[in-house]
Structure 1
């Protein structure tokens, strides 16, 4: 699970989606919520083989998403 908590802004989901696509992961489910000015989004991701990501790979994906949010 990749959870993103950020200030809501135009293009936020687009930046997250591009980052996940660039990491070559599959999004099995996404739960997107906006609470006032804040976005709280959870992405359930797997590898391209459908298997859960190893801990090191999950941390790498999280870093890429964080970088995309700037």
Structure 2
């Protein structure tokens, strides 16, 4: 990023075709201390189970992908997945 430019706001998306076994949530945000902690807290509040998480930092940007399921181990329904993405985005805002 150029000096003096503002970082873009965090973006959280659902990848509907990302996995047959879990719901895939992708988080793109400026890397900062506590970023993963805030993501984890939002996931915990939403009572989802994390199957796996893939964390990448590219320069000043973090690209984190989390595979989650409901309490019974199934992918989230589309509405639940969209609400989870909004909850994670609120936690980062």
For this structure pair, what is the TM-score category when the shorter chain's length is used for normalisation? over 0.9
2:54 aligns with 31
Task: Give distance in 2, aligned partners of 1:31 and 1:20.
Answer: 15
Question: 5+ unaligned residues in a row in structure 1: which ranges?
Answer: none
CA RMSD in angstroms comes to 0.3
TM-score by length of 1: 0.99
For 2:71 and 2:48, locate their aligned partners in 1 and report how far apart those are by CA, in whole Å. 6
Secondary structure of 1:27's match? Answer: strand
- 4+ long deviations beyond 6 Å: none
Structure with greater Cα Rg = 2
Q: Return the structure number with greater relative CO, CA threshold 8 A, min gap 6.
A: 1
TM-score by length of 2: 0.75
Give unmatched runs, 5+ long, in structure 2: 1-23
The number of equivalent residue pairs is 70
Structure with greater proportional helix content: 1
